[in-house]
Amino acid sequence: MRKARYLLSVILAVLVLTACTGSGGAAGSSSASASVTSPAETADSSSAETTSEPDSVQVGVILPTMREPRWLQDESAFAELLPDAGFTCEVMFSDGSMEMERANVEALADKGAEVIILCTCDSAAAAESVSGMKERGVTVIAYDRLITGTEDVDYFVTFDSFDVGKAQGNYLLEHAPQGKGIPLYLYGGAVADNNSFLLFEGAWSVLQPRIADGTFVIQNSAAADSLRAKKELTREETEIVLQEITTDWNFSVAGTLAENNLAEADTKKGEVLILAPNDSTARAIADCFAGDEEVSGYVITGQDAEAASIKYIIEEKQSMTVFKNPHTLAGSAVRMAAGLLNGKTPETDSVYPNGVKDVPALELPIEVIDRSNAENMNNS
């Protein structure tokens, strides 16, 4: 496995976590409430506060948005973990705004946070969000998405997005119809998200041989089709492809793109394969293909094991998803923060080059879910 690489809508009005006892940190607060805040709760864009939040915190958590089910899963995981974490803490949301993300980072640093766990909205732009944190004595843990182009990120806790892409690609290989010339539709995540590159590169690594020999025929990306003979793509080539097939991780964008692809006169249909980047986009894309009378069947991927997609899998509307346990990810980040507060070096097992430095990383396991085991997820 390559360890180093260069890299539904639900709105919660107010979420307040239970008390989180303080110990083992330089901030030394004996007790404080751990709050979850969002931009909607503020009068301006500089901070996100509730009346129950602590005057100071040792660890801050910043998630990108409340508008995607994936991040609500992570928020729920943190809500369960933080009361017993052993330090004062606060969770914030950035509402998909880099301005808000930077304000949240500054607000937490001003409150004395020694560790900030940040899942950024934009991997490259996040360099500005964390600028100066090292000088202020703040340790930054990139959460799920690598922060690129800066020295001011210390650790990275993640699932291996390259392996997620490989799992999606392998599922399409294993469940493809017999014969040659099978239509393949490609969809990607947000171009601003480094994980989108890794995800697509992982899928491409297993799909490309079948594309090159004509078993699969790309239907919706001239850029990808022009590169069909290349086993490994450069980052620049991957970006060109992603610009054509991006869903921006957005349900509506994905649906519109799929509708446009199916409406093109020279599009081949019948039994098709669909590489969809995550669950919310997979459902939108699947609905479009299911509604096209010229599509006789499809195999479609996903990731995140969202409850709505587990239901789709059981109902045979979505083929698979990749389960990335949010409790495992959040738990690893919380343990990393607790160790740092107690002067311990966090456990890591890989490095991710971010263009400026090699960031020590901890990669976590993934699991493929399909019709054979989806009921287990539905009952868990």
pLDDT at residue number 85: 86
d(CA 184, CA 267): 10
Greater model confidence, 116 or 378: 116
Whether the pLDDT of residue 118 is over 80: the answer is yes
Q: Are 157 and 333 in contact (CB under 8 A)?
A: yes
pTM: 0.82
Residues 109 and 132 in one domain: yes
In a domain, 7, yes or no: no
Whether the pLDDT of residue 21 is over 60: the answer is no
Q: What is the mean pLDDT of the chain?
A: 87
d(CA 10, CA 20): 26
Task: List, for residues 213-253, the tens digit of each pLDDT value.
Answer: 999 999 999 999 999 999 999 999 999 999 999 999 999 99
Summarize the confidence of residues 84-113 as an average pLDDT: 94
Greater model confidence, 53 or 160: 160
Whether the pLDDT of residue 369 is over 90: the answer is yes
d(CA 207, CA 119): 29
CA distances from 122 to 31, 145, 194, 302, 350 (A): 33, 8, 8, 21, 22
The length of the chain, given as a count of residues: 380
Residues 204 and 240 in one domain: yes
Residues 50 and 195 in one domain: no
Task: List, for residues 240-292, the tens digit of each pLDDT value.
Answer: 999 999 999 999 999 999 999 999 978 999 999 999 999 999 999 999 999 99
Which domain CATH number covers 208? 3.40.50.2300
pLDDT class of 18 with cuts at 50, 70, 90 = very low
In a domain, 283, yes or no: yes
3-state secondary structure of 149: coil
In a domain, 275, yes or no: yes
pLDDT at residue number 377: 84
pLDDT at residue number 10: 33
In a domain, 3, yes or no: no
CA-based nearest residue to 53, from 99, 107, 102? 107
d(CA 235, CA 243): 12
d(CA 289, CA 264): 13
Whether the pLDDT of residue 48 is over 90: the answer is no
Whether the pLDDT of residue 82 is over 90: the answer is no
Whether the pLDDT of residue 24 is over 60: the answer is no
pLDDT at residue number 314: 97
In a domain, 311, yes or no: yes
Whether the pLDDT of residue 4 is over 60: the answer is no
d(CA 324, CA 271): 29
Summarize the confidence of residues 294-322 as an average pLDDT: 97
Task: List, for residues 172-181, the tens digit of each pLDDT value.
Answer: 999 999 999 9
Q: Two tokens at 287? A: 């609905």
Residues 135 and 259 in one domain: no
Residues 314 and 332 in one domain: no
In a domain, 176, yes or no: yes
Residues 181 and 316 in one domain: yes
Percentage helix, strand, coil for the chain under 3-state DSSP, each rounded to 5: 35, 20, 40
Name the range with the highest mean pLDDT among 24-38, 41-55, 95-109: 95-109
d(CA 362, CA 329): 10
Domain of residue 301, residue span: 161-324+372-379
| Beta bridge partners of residue 364, listed in sequence order | 159
| Count of domains forming the chain | 2
Strands 367-370 and 320-323: antiparallel
Largest CA distance in the chain: 67
